[in-house]
Each structure stands twice: as structure tokens, then as C-alpha cells.
Amino acid sequence: MTDPVVGPGEGVRAASVGNVLSGRVEGPSVQAGSIHGGVTVHVHHAESSSGAPRELPARSAVFVNQRVILEALSRLWRSFPDGVAPVLALTGPGGVGKTAVAVEWLTGARPEFPDGELYADLGGPRLAATERLETVLVRFLVELGVSPRRVPLELAALAAMFRSVTARRRVAVLLDNPVSFAQLRHLLPGSAASTVVITSRWRFDWLAGQAGARIVDVGPLDAAASIELLARLVPDERMAGDTSSARQLAAMCDGLPLALRIVGGSLAVRPSRSVARVAQRLADERTRLASLTARGDLSVRAVFDASYEDLPASVARLYRLVSAHPGRSFTADAAAAAGMLGLEEAADALDLLTSASLVREVAAERYGFHDLVRLHAVTRAEEEEHPEDLSAALERMLLWYLRGAVVADLALMPGRWRLNGDYDDQRARQDGPDTEAAWAWLETERENLVASVLAAVERGFDELAWKLCEAMWSLLFRRGYHHDWVTAHEQGVVATARLGDRRAEARMRCQLGLAYQEINRLEDAGEQFAAAYAADVEAGHLRGQATARELLGLLEHRRARYDAAIELFTSALSLNGDPRAAGILWRHLGAAQLGAGRIDAAFRSLDRARASLAELEPPDRYNETRTETIRAKVYLRQGRPEAALASLMEALGLMRAERARVQEADIQVDLAEVHLALGAGAEAALAARRALALYEELDTWPEQEIRARLETIAVDAADGSG
């Protein structure tokens, strides 16, 4: 057994009472400052018991030392001012081990409470399970030595006697599951030298507001502590012999001590059962809660049910509906969409769910489930909601994410053409966020957006799936989240193929092909671009055809087939009259002409690109900047590194402002070459190292020869040998 952290430890609170008779005194005693003359003491029948009451539940034989929480309790205990009885409250979900932590701390602090330890489980909000206060107080008084004949009947008189009896004592009172301050106040001892510790699944406002408690949240055990607990429960080396399965078990139990004890107990009494077999059984989320039940009344579900069944009906329904959320965290807005509630009503419901430890606040105004609680919410939803209602709740949340993504994407790339008509509606409203707010929303919700695509495809919301992919473009393309980009768009292709929407399928294939190209899967990229072009030809969609040919041209440029790229870009220009698209295509054409050694033609094409982009309102600074980076390459080819440096430094500032990290890395590549041409070896090496660091951070790399060149510059140029 792990030794407990000593409770309060050094720096114990001063007693604050000047003339105190401490501890248990058997028989008559006199307490006085000084005595003069003769004193006669008349002794009545002594009210005593065999010793100080020690009612605390037994310490857990397999307690895993939660040192951080135990030290926090000691620190908070010492923080109470003299003359104030400390009240500590441990809150957290059912089964997390709040009472075990309280008992461990109080046992370590036992020397501070020589007059006894009292305990009562008040049952929580369920009236049938609540122990009557009168019963608790009678037991406390008798344990403290009051004759049963002298115990009053009325609650107020009982509470008054309890305060009187404890007024000169140092006792600890552990109370599980109080439901109100009106209940708790009758159980507060009368001495400032006593301490009350409360445990509760509910984080009631009155704990701090009226009881003055210092609150400590008890969360699940981490992976290491979970495995340690399992090893103590199953001491026959099975855990040590299969560490992979042990880690899986710990994860599937979500660090919940109750779940771990059930699993460990099952293994302990079945010495021939392997850890891997139990892990395999728990792997199925549909049956995991049912599996976490021991014979008798020990059940993870029962613990969660106890909190759930105390909820108001409307809050319980939101708990069920929000279990359909596709991601790991959500806001009150998303919950409001699930439940068709107003934002304030949803926020109030989430506050109550947080107080009940069924939902946790994972960040400011963001909520989530512990894994096992989420499974409980899913189970209750499947039992109590019609499947169509759950599907509708999911659809409403997906629509909420789509609207948010459309608004943010449009704010960041207002000139890009989109297939989704929702963009036209948003343009008409003209109420979008600024770019900082748009980036912040997209970054915060990125995981939820990808999860929404996957959930949409799984549940057959195919139109929502491809629209979500299209709306994530600015985030995925400019930030270079290639894994998310590929994951979402591969499913987007599945969705559009199932829909039979050839234009949408071409859109998805174009965006997926670009992701493949970014990660050097060039053959896969070519297949997607060719399939997109075929789909747009079949659909008669000229704009889409132009995009597909543009991307095929970029692929040919990547392969250094400059003449083929020039032909594709030229044909794409003939299919597209949009000024922004034309500006981008002229830029591509200029880059291909530079690659082919046609310097004058490249300058003319870049001038045409600049002119086309200048027509746009609002301006497209991103594509204007990319045009200037190509112009810098032309300057360098002409032997004009000073002009190239000026263009690149301006471009670098603009790309940083646009948060286009991949393009920032590309500019650092060009800067390394320009600094070399200027004879500035140290600056060249610095630019090369910055480019390498950005590519590594983004987990995306240029062609192998460019990477090798950067690594050479980073080393050789710094010492003057480059």
C-alpha cells in the first residue's frame, strides 16, 4: 500500500481558542486560568464512551496515491483563517474515487482530530436514499458521548446540541452527497478547530457561496496511475506481461477507479483469463458499459444513472441529444442546435450538466464528455429517443458547423468561386467576421469539422459532407493540415459519388488531388485531376473544367514538363473569364514560362496576372503576393538579386499576415538562394533553416532535391563554403 501524504503537515493552523480542553477526558475535570481557596466539585453521571469515534470508511487497500490532490487539500486546509472551521469539498463524476481520496487525506491528518471522525452518506438528491438529518445527528451525538436519554427530538435542538458538544473539540466530519446548504448547516460542528470534508457528484453553487468551501475537482486517473491500480488488483504479473493490453484496458476504463476495480476484480478471480481477452471484450463501445458491471450492485452505469435521473427532463434530453455530437468538445451554440434551444437555455442546461459531473468544461465555454460518460449518454439516448430524432439532432449540429465554416471561409478567401450556394446567401448578408476571428474559429473547430465530415458520410448526409469539405478549403490549404485534408476529402469523394452529383464530385476530386500533390503522391493527384475533368465535361461545367485543367497544368509544372503545363494553362484561360481565376492562371503561366526559359514571356504573363487581380474588390492580397514571389524568381534568373530580395521581403510579411505557413516556407527557400547570390552566407543559412523548420512543423516537404539543397545551404553557407 502506498503511504499516504500526511494531511495538513507542517504549518498547522493555530487553534485560535485560548483556553481549550483538548482531546477526550474521562471523568470530572476542571479548566480554569487560576484557582484560589477551596473548590468543591459536584460530579453527575459521566456521559462517555470507550474512546473517540472513528467512523471513517476503511482506507482502500489499493489506493493509488493521488499526491497532487492530497497536497491541494492540505494547502487549502491551511489557507483558512484562524477562527474559521475549514470546509473542503471534493467534486467529480460518480466512480472517480472522491470518498477514497477524502478518507486517505483524513487518515493522514488524524493527529489533527484527536476528538474523533464522524461520517454520514446523505444520499444526494434522491429523496428515498437520503438519510434523515435527525438520524445522523442522533448517531453523531451518541458517538460523541451524549447519553441517548438526553438527546432531543427536534432537528433544531439536535443541531444546537451538536454544536455545543463539539464547541471545544477537534473533530473531522466527512459527509458524502449533501444536497443543500439547508441540510449541511445542521451538521457543521461548533468549533473552529474542527474540519468538514464534503464529497459530491454535483458542483453546487452553495458549496462555495454559503458553506464557504474550498473546492477540489477529482478527475480520472492518468494512464500510469490506472495501470498501477490494475497491477495492484491483479498482482500475478499478467499486467506486466502484456503492457499493450494493460494500456488498452486503462484507456477503455477512462481512468475511472470504479471501472478499473471492476475490471481488475474480474481478472483477479479468474487467474486463467488473459488481459488481452478482457481488452478485446471492452473494445466494443456498444457493450462496454454493460461489461463494466460486477456481480452485486457494483456498476459504472448505475453510478451515472444516479446523477442522470436527478436531472430535469429538459436537461436530461439535451444530455441525450448532444451525445450525437461528432467531436470531442463543443460549445453551447452547438448544443443549442442539437436541442433546438436558445443559446441562454442551452448554456444553463450545460451548467447544470457540469454541476452534475456528467459534462465537463474542457476550456473556456467549451464542453465535453469523459469517454465512459459519453457512452452512458449514447446508451440513454438509444433507449429513450427515436432514431429519427437522434439523426435530426446530428444533422442540426452538422448544419451549424457548415454555416460557421462558410462564414469563416468566405471572410478569408472572398474571391474564390464555390459550388455551394450558401456562399451567395452569406455574401448578401455582409455580416461576416474579421479575418482574425475567422481564423480563430476555424482553428478551434478544426477537429470537429473533420469529424463532422466523417459523421455526415457515415449517416448518409452526403450533401453536407462535400459542402463541409469545400468550406474547409482556406484552413486546409493555407495551413497545410494534410492529414485532415486527405481524410476529409477522400470521404467527400465517396459522398458525391453516392449522390451522383458530378459537379460536386469533380470539386472534391480537385481538392483531394491538390492534397495528394502537396504530399508528393503525384500519380494519385493526376488520377484525381483527370477524373475531375471527365466529371465536369459530363456535367457541362466549364468553370470546373477550367479548374481541372489548371491543376493538371500545375502537376506538369511540378514534373518540369513546362511546355505541357503552358498548353494546359492556356486552354484553362480560354474556359474561364473570371478576373480572379484569370489572374491566378496568368501567374501559373508566367511560372511555367520561367521554367521553360522564356523570361520575357514570363514577365508579360506576370503583368497580366497583376492587372487581372487589381480589378478585384475586395483585393486578393494572397494571390497578388504569390504573383510577386514568381516575379522575384524571374529577377533572380536575370541576375537582379537586390530586386528579388525586395519583392520577397514584402511577400514574406504579407504571407505571415495571411497565416499561409506553407507559402511562408516556400518564400524562405527563395530567400536562401537570393542571399547566396548576394554573398550573404549567414542570412542564406538562416533562411534555409527557417524553411526546414516550417516544413517539419507542417509535416510537408518539397521535392527531395529542394530539401537536400536547403540542408546543404543551412550547413555550408553558415561557414562560408556555400
Is 60 a member of any domain? no
Question: Is position 32 within any domain?
Answer: no
Average the pLDDT over each of 372-386, 479-493, 511-525, 689-703 and give the range with the smallest value: 689-703
Look at residue 50 in the predicted model and tell me its pLDDT.
Answer: 47
Tell me the mean pLDDT in the region 82-93. Answer: 92
Provide the 3-class DSSP secondary structure of residue 483. Answer: helix
Assign 188 a pLDDT band (cuts: 50, 70, 90): very high
pLDDT band per the 50, 70, 90 thresholds, residue 719: low
Q: Any bridge partners for residue 173, and if so which?
A: 118, 196
pLDDT category, 125, cuts 50, 70, 90?
low
Stated length of the chain: 722
The C-alpha atoms of residue 377 and residue 324 are separated, in whole angstroms, by: 9
Residue 129 scores a pLDDT above 70: no
Per residue in 134-185, pLDDT tens? 989 999 999 999 998 999 989 999 999 999 999 999 999 999 988 888 888 9
Q: What CATH number does residue 418 fall under?
A: 1.25.40.10
Torsion, CA 436, CA 437, CA 438, CA 439, rounded to 10: 50
Query: Any idea what the Cα angle at residue 186 is, between residues 8 and 79, rounded to 5°?
Result: 25
12 part of a folded domain: no
Q: With the C-alpha atoms ordered 92, 93, 94, 96, is the resulting torsion angle positive or negative?
A: negative
Query: Buried (b) or exposed (e) across 549-559, using 16+ Cβ within 10 A?
Result: bbbbbbbbbee
Q: Find the mean pLDDT for residues 627-649.
A: 95
Q: How many Å from the N-terminal Cα to the C-terminal Cα in the chain?
A: 64
Count of Cβ atoms closer than 10 Å to residue 525 Cβ: 25
Do 492 and 409 lie in one domain? The reply is yes
* The total number of structural domains that make up the chain: 5
Residue 116: per-residue pLDDT: 94
**424 in helix, strand or coil?**
helix
Residue-wise DSSP of 261-316: HHHHHHHHT-TTS-HHHHHHHHT-HHHHHHHSB-SSS-BHHHHHHHHHTTS-HHHH
pTM, entire model:
0.78
Q: Sign (positive/negative) of CA torsion 667, 672, 675, 676?
A: negative
Please check whether residues 499 and 589 belong to one and the same domain.
Answer: yes
Same domain flag for 529 and 543: yes
- In this structure, are 595 and 710 located in the same domain? no
Q: Tell me, yes or no, whether 138 and 165 share the same domain.
A: yes
CATH number of the domain to which 341 belongs: 1.10.10.10
The residue from 281, 298, 315 where one domain ends is 298
* Residue 627 shares a structural domain with residue 650: no
Same domain flag for 593 and 460:
yes
β-pairing, 366-368 with 360-363? antiparallel
In a domain, 48, yes or no: no
Pull the grid cell for residue 709: 539543397
433, 515: one domain:
yes
Q: From CA 568, how far away is CA 552, in angstroms rounded?
A: 7
What DSSP character marks residue 717?
Answer: G
Cell of 111: 493527529
3-state secondary structure of 361: strand
| pLDDT reported for residue 403 | 97
Same domain, 703 and 588: no
- At 205 the pLDDT is 80
Can you tell me the distance from the alpha carbon of 217 to that of 272, in angstroms, rounded to the nearest whole number? 38
**Whole-angstrom Cα distance, residue 668 to residue 679?**
16
Judgement on whether residues 262 and 320 belong to the same structural domain of the protein: no
Q: Are residues 283 and 314 in the same domain?
A: no
Residues 178 and 100 in one domain: yes
Lowest mean pLDDT among 24-38, 208-222, 422-436, 575-589: 24-38
Q: What is the CATH number of the domain that holds 207?
A: 3.40.50.300
pLDDT at 718: 60
Interatomic CA distance for residues 262 and 378, integer angstroms: 21
Residue the block writes with cell 513546362: 562
In a domain, 91, yes or no: yes
- The pLDDT assigned to 124 comes to 67
| Whole-angstrom distance, CA of residue 689 vs CA of residue 589 | 30
**Could you give the CA distance from residue 456 to residue 396 in angstroms, rounded to a whole number?**
11
Give the separation between CA 566 and CA 670, rounded to whole angstroms: 22
**Range with lowest mean pLDDT among 248-257, 325-334, 486-495, 699-708:** 699-708
Q: Using the 3D structure, point to which of 150, 183, 217 is the last residue of a domain.
A: 217
Residue 42 pLDDT > 70: no
What's residue 14's pLDDT? Answer: 42
Name the DSSP class of 54.
B
Last residue of a domain, one of 258, 282, 298: 298
Query: Is there a domain that residue 44 lies in?
Result: no
Sign of CA dihedral 512, 514, 520, 522: positive
- The whole-number average pLDDT for the span 196-205 is 88
Average pLDDT of the chain to the nearest whole number:
88
Parent domain of 148: 67-217
Helix (H) or strand (E) holding 196: strand 195-200
Reply yes or no on whether the pLDDT at 379 is more than 60. yes
Question: Are 565 and 556 within 8 A, CB to CB?
Answer: yes
Tell whether 272 is covered by a domain.
Answer: yes
Q: What are phi and psi of 124, to 5 degrees?
A: 80, -165
Mean pLDDT, range 313-326, rounded to an integer? 97
Assess if residue 58 is contained within a domain: no
